[in-house]
Amino acid sequence: MRLLIGVTALLITGAKLCFRLLQALYQQQAITLFARTVAGKNKKPIKLRVFTVANRSLANVDVWFHYLKGDFNLVGPVALDVTDLARLTARQRARFDVAPGLVSPYRVAIKRGLAPSSEAETSMQFAQKNSWLLRTQILVAALLPRKSTSNPNPLQVPQTFSLFGVGIQNATMPAAVSSLMQHLHRRAGKQSPAKVAFVNADCVNKYVKDRHYQGVLKGFDHVFADGVGLRLAARRPLGR
């Protein structure tokens, strides 16, 4: 089954990637190749490469190669960048008992309009309860149409998202201003300044190649998304 699914998906995504790259070349659009290293089962490093055009990720062929190799499952925890491992507790590292998934229980819960606990806790609980039945239930839930709501607000969850190793707050403008005002109020009287960054697609292109710049951003009190390119990146699931 893995072979059938993997080869079929690889052919489809490969064709989509080739078409989009040829289209970008014809339109003289800039093509960039990004690479990130995620932690697989037992914290095995997995290198993923993805092409971007106009700051938008194209079909992810690499992930299907790794699926065929067994580095990914169809359903499993979110694939974390290796730089994010330090923030996990010893208990939460149970997630590495299983391979990461192309479909994650955390993202499916958000899609279904549920309010899951943190991504780390959700992934840890999945790894502990891992079963064929649970995987099937999550996969079916992922394939069902998204529940419509009268007042959808996709920016409420998750509060942050990781983009190539940097945690970026997923906030509306009013929420960002409110967060900054509260932070400044708490720091009243302190001499050290609050450190705030607004990251756009050009910043991402730079900090992916500049580890020092990436490290500086990680030390900021607040890192906000700037521009529609970052909003699309936050919403784009792994594997598409």
pLDDT category of residue 98 using cuts at 50, 70 and 90 = very high
Closest CA to 239 of 15, 56, 2, 13: 13
Of 38-42, 88-92, 108-112, 177-181, the least confident: 177-181
Q: What is the pLDDT of residues 152-176, one digit of tens each?
A: 444 444 567 777 778 887 777 777 7
Helices (H), the chain: 2-26, 62-69, 105-111, 119-129, 132-143, 173-186, 201-209, 211-218, 228-235
Name the pTM for this structure: 0.60
Under 8 Å between Cβ of 6 and 64: yes
Of 113-122, 128-137, 211-220, the least confident: 113-122
DSSP assignment string, 9-27: HHHHHHHHHHHHHHHHHHT
103-124 mean pLDDT = 81
68-86 mean pLDDT = 89
DSSP assignment string, 152-185: --GGGSSSEEEETTEEEE---HHHHHHHHHHHHH
User: Which pLDDT value is given to residue 191?
Assistant: 66
